[in-house]
Amino acid sequence: MTDDTYYKQTAQLQPLADLERALGGNNAFARIAEDMGRHKKALSAAYGPIEELRRSGALAAFAEQGGAIAELQKQLALSTEPFKLPEFKQATELMKVYRTDHASEIVKHFEDHQDYLRRATETIQSPWLDMQAQMRSVGAFADIQSMGFALQNIPAFDDRLTELLRIDLGDWQDRINFPKEIFDDPLARSAFYQERGFDPALTAFPTDAFAESLDIAGLRGAPPPIIDVYNYEDVTEEDEREASFARTNAAHDRLQRFETQVRQFIDEQMSKTIGADWVKHRVPGTMRQSWVKKREKARANGEADHPLIAYADFSDYAPIITQKNNWNEVFKPVFHRPTFVLESFQRLYPIRICTMHARMITQDDEFYLYVETKRVLSVIGID
């Protein structure tokens, strides 16, 4: 094994070390074996990373660490055993019972358009039904498909749709002071999401079934094209070396592409209404100074100039859009309510920070990523 390969595979295993620390120390994996129920959140978070490492061969390369890793793999396999791919007739009957007695608000909202649920249950090929919690699985699967159907058929920032999404995704409309620990600890982040109101059933699927359900719903799709002229990102060499985990890389790429589209949208809309020098007149002074400093640093490194908004931080977009004069003159017809904008970008903020620093990405993170990037891109005309 070359030094470079060893380093990359060590970096791939780092999320598992983060998970072990989050669980409380060197004996964490033994405690998982002793008490599966207690660590259900941890196992759910680890589904994707473990599978990615297995497919890449990294786990085999670290066979000497076998005790902890092998035990975690064993427990993950056990935890997915209850998931089955039901016969279409069984799935149809379960869905009928769910719609009659247990349907969520978003499923009820589309009761006159149920073919999308039938098609979804016909299409999925991965084991997705938890035989020990069938209605929970059916409800979560139906909600995912309903969200996808809604985002393809209703304006993405429609008042009623926003209210319906809030039931499952949580209420993020007030300004949030994000706890620091959620950016390093995936379990703390999942707990934080649930405190906001996120329904954990939405991501309680094996990795393949989760990904396939998102694809069938049209939530995942191909990421938007990157717009080079709006793509400036100050990433250190260390960050780039450490970002070798497939799930994190994919999320980072999608967000980077998303941000270039948002930057272009803001620049074009503001330039059209306010004028080419809108940054000078419509961006808070400290924010503008930060962009200028980044551009000066990039120039000093011999990099080409970009529009000044290309140097914006992720947390800058919502304040620009919702600033009172900008909102009234430019953005209100697009987003309808300032709280909707804040809510959408706040849901994306934790995963943005995590991808910037090669942190472990969970299926909870991915769900917010796919739903909210699709919403924003849809409303700005990129679909």
If asked whether residues 270 and 344 sit together in one domain, one would say yes
Which has the higher per-residue pLDDT, 69 or 319? Answer: 319
Q: What is the pLDDT of residue 191?
A: 92
Question: Which residue in 335, 353, 354 sits closest to 344, CA to CA?
Answer: 335
Give the tens place of pLDDT for each residue, 265-317: 999 999 999 999 999 999 999 999 999 999 999 999 888 899 999 999 999 99
Q: Which domain holds residue 132?
A: 84-169+206-217
pLDDT in tens, 306-353: 999 999 999 999 999 999 999 999 999 999 999 999 999 999 999 999
The mean pLDDT value of the chain amounts to 84
User: Are 239 and 374 part of one and the same domain?
Assistant: yes
Cβ-based neighbour number of residue 48 at 10 Å:
25
CB 204 within 8 A of CB 44: yes
Q: DSSP per residue over 66-125, as a string?
A: HHHHHHHHHHHHHHHTTEE---HHHHHHHHHHHHHHT--HHHHHTTT-THHHHHHHHH--
Residues 277 and 152 in one domain: no
Contact between 248 and 359 under an 8 Å Cβ cutoff? The reply is: yes
Residue 162: helix, strand or coil by DSSP? helix
For residue 163, is it within any domain?
yes
pLDDT for res 360? 83
Q: Which residue has the tokens 């998982």?
A: 32
Q: Which pair of tokens denotes residue 26?
A: 């060197």
State the Cα–Cα distance between residues 131 and 200, nearest whole angstrom.
17
54 C-beta neighbours (distance < 10 Å), count: 14
Predicted local distance difference test score (pLDDT) of residue 53: 54
Q: Which pairs with CB-CB distance under 8 Å and at least 24 residues apart come from 321-329?
A: 321/266, 323/282, 323/284, 325/282, 326/270, 326/274, 326/282, 329/273, 329/274
Is the distance from CB of 376 to CB of 258 less than 8 angstroms?
yes
% pLDDT > 90, the chain: 68
Could you tell me if residue 149 is inside a domain? yes
27 pLDDT band (50/70/90 cuts)? very low
Which of 26, 54, 81 is the endpoint of a domain? Answer: 81
Count how many domains the chain has: 3
Q: What is the pLDDT of residue 352?
A: 96
For residue 229, give every residue at least 6 positions away whose Cβ sits within 8 Å of its Cβ, in sequence order, or none. 264, 306, 307, 310
- Assess if residue 198 is contained within a domain: no
Same domain for 320 and 239: yes
**Helix 186-196 vs helix 338-356: crossing angle, to nearest 10:** 170
3-state secondary structure 207-252: HHHHHHHHHHHCCCCCCCCCCHHHCCCCCCHHHHHHCCCHHHHHHH
Claim to verify: residue 67 and residue 104 sit in the same structural domain: no
Residues 246 and 374 both lie in one domain: yes
Residue 92 lies in a domain: yes
Residue 56 CA to residue 50 CA, distance in Å, equals: 10
Full-model pTM: 0.84
Report angle CA 141, 54, 19 to the nearest 5 degrees: 75
**Residue 22: pLDDT band by 50, 70, 90 thresholds?**
very low
Question: By CB neighbour count within 10 A (0-12 exposed, 13-18 middle, 19+ buried), where does 117 fall?
Answer: buried
SS3 198: strand
pLDDT higher than threshold 90 for residue 74: no
**Residue 190 belongs to a domain:** no
| Residue 28 and residue 92 in one domain | no
Domain co-membership, 126 together with 65? no
Same domain, 121 and 66: no
Whether 37 and 92 share a structural domain: no
